[in-house]
Amino acid sequence: MLEGKNGEVLLGTYTSGVLKVENGVITPYLNRDNGLGSNEVRTLLLDSKNRLWIGTASGLTRVEEDGTLVQFTNKAELPSGFVMALSEDNQGNIWVGTGIGVVVFDIITEKFTTLSFPKSFAAEYAFGFYIDKDYMWMATDRGLVRYTYTTGEMAILGREQGLPVDKLFQVVATEKSFWLSSNRGIIQIEKKQIQYILNTDAEQKVIPLEYQLYDEGDGMLSAQANGGSTPSATAHNDGTLWFATAKGVSSVKPARLQASTQVSLPTIIESFYVDGKPTALPLDGESVLLPPGVSRLSFQYAGLSFIMPQRLNFQTRLKGFNNKWVNRQHSTTAEYTNLPAGRYTFMVRAGYPNAKWQQNHKVISFVIQAHFWQKMSFKLFVFFILTLTVYAIYKYRLYHYKQVEIKLISRVESQTQDLQKQADAFAYQATHDQLTDMPNRRAFDSWLAKNFASFKTQNKPLAIAIMDIDHFKRINDGWSHIVGDQVICKIAQILKTNSEGEQEIARWGGEEFTLLFPGKTAFEARVICEQLRENISNNDFSTVAQNLNVTVSFGISDSIGINDYDRLLSRADQALYKAKNSGRNRTEII
């Protein structure tokens, strides 16, 4: 039904198109014979420009102010020809609910835009719309969809979010609640709770969806409030909500429901069972004394109300066990098992749906007596014996561990000393030549790397000499490798004996030795090297092998003008090659 622009009433029918009621007379207005796409009319809308929109089973028809018709079908503008819902938003755009999603008619461009539901919604039908300031709410076959005007984002409230059904037909709003029609009754949900559920990630939600589902038990002749056409529900200006059902119209006045919840609600405890046996309820201020070993307690209670008694909610609290109120929903029984001995107070209170809890609680106090082994004196005695036993075991174990500790410390100290000696030996072997017992190339390179930069920073010279035994291969081939090793040891001894000051001498490898002269230039080092060369040349090697004469060659360089110790070594090596190529048994500088 729709009130026309001139006060007439338009009726949408399933078989005769649109009828007009004027002055109590029903006359045909628009049907298939005079331009309507189908006689099965599902929805009517009169927009802000006084244009009549008619949704049918075969498309959408718009009646202009001059009476001309504009047709929209699934062959061009609509995803589906079956139109079930129409609504005009605050900007004047027309929202069309079809059998395959939603389309929006833009009032400026005069074109339709398809609004596709996300695949995760699995929604197809849009049965009804509700418009507010920021959102368009859509009742669909998979729940309540919220569309945000500014961002175009959509969110859904369905079974997964806690609704009892997911097929909704119409949305009607009051100041604080949404009322949703379905084929299982009318669902009432607070708006702020819907926004909380839709705005919070699933992992962060801590409050489940709470709602009220009204059906035949609340006075409806039928819970099937699916309507079949729109609007199938509406709000009257006196605050009454009207819903079309399979058996007539049901109405509710939320303000009256809210006022009813303020009526005093007495609560009573009907019965008290101990291990399945009924127990007499105590008088006010008295306590029930229960024997030891009680395993199961059961309380049955009720709220006395003529208003929605089947919808009363209950909360219970057992002081001495858990001081928090526990929601029992509509259950009228509370049961506790295996409570320890002690003093308890059972409390119960009732409340109406969507209302604050009334301070109407009833109370039963009871005491569960203890077995002798449950009494505090016995527990203290056992605790003392256990503590004494544990202390004795602790002292014995402590003495035992002290003895073990002494032995372990002695053994660790002995092994640590052995390991230190072994580590020192390995460290020495790693930096000394086994044949001559002189520092090896690793020790020499380490010293040079650590000190070269320091000498350069202090602007002090650093000279290096590489010495090579002349024709050493002839010695190995002519006398043997054993004799060659003895020659190397003899020369090492001469170098140690005749070294001066802070010289660093190392066996470079094979028949080569290196000498470092801290604070000396190449020319100052040459004087020392010449003395060493002459000492070796004049030395008597007949004790090593008969007719054996040994000479050496030196190559010298210093750090003046060099910023890299590798370069220093390279230049000393070049000087050595120069000495060899110049006849050997000589000293050269580069």
Nearest-5° angle of CA 222, CA 228, CA 231?
A: 100
The torsion region of residue 443 among left (phi > 0), alpha (psi -120 to 50) and beta comes to alpha
DSSP string for 327-346: EEET--EEEEESPPSEEEEE
Integer-rounded Cα Rg, in Å, for the chain is 52
Instruction: Write down the residue that tokens 């032995």 correspond to.
Output: 407
DSSP-H helix ranges across 217-363: 254-260
**What is d(CA 245, CA 238) in angstroms, rounded to the nearest whole number?**
21
Point out the catalytic residue in the list 40, 88, 511, 588.
Answer: 511
**What is d(CA 190, CA 356) in angstroms, rounded to the nearest whole number?**
14
Instruction: Kindly provide the b/e burial profile for residues 293-324, where b requires at least 16 CB atoms within 10 angstroms of the residue's own CB.
Output: ebeebbbbbbbebeebeebbbbbbbbebeeee
Judged by DSSP in three states, 425 sits in: helix
Question: One-letter amino acid identity for 137?
Answer: W
DSSP one-letter code for 576: H
- Tell me if 41 sits within 8 A of 12, measured CB to CB: yes
DSSP one-letter code for 232: S
Judged by DSSP in three states, 184 sits in: coil
**What is d(CA 495, CA 499) in angstroms, rounded to the nearest whole number?**
6
511 part of the active site:
yes
* Residue 231: cis peptide before it, omega within 30 degrees of 0: yes
The torsion region of residue 66 among left (phi > 0), alpha (psi -120 to 50) and beta comes to alpha
Q: Strands 101-106 and 94-98: what pairing?
A: antiparallel
**What is d(CA 437, CA 430) in angstroms, rounded to the nearest whole number?**
11
Instruction: Kindly provide the b/e burial profile for residues 502-533, where b requires at least 16 CB atoms within 10 angstroms of the residue's own CB.
Output: ebbbbbbeebbbbbbbbebbbeebbebbeebb
Question: Which residues are part of the catalytic machinery?
Answer: 511
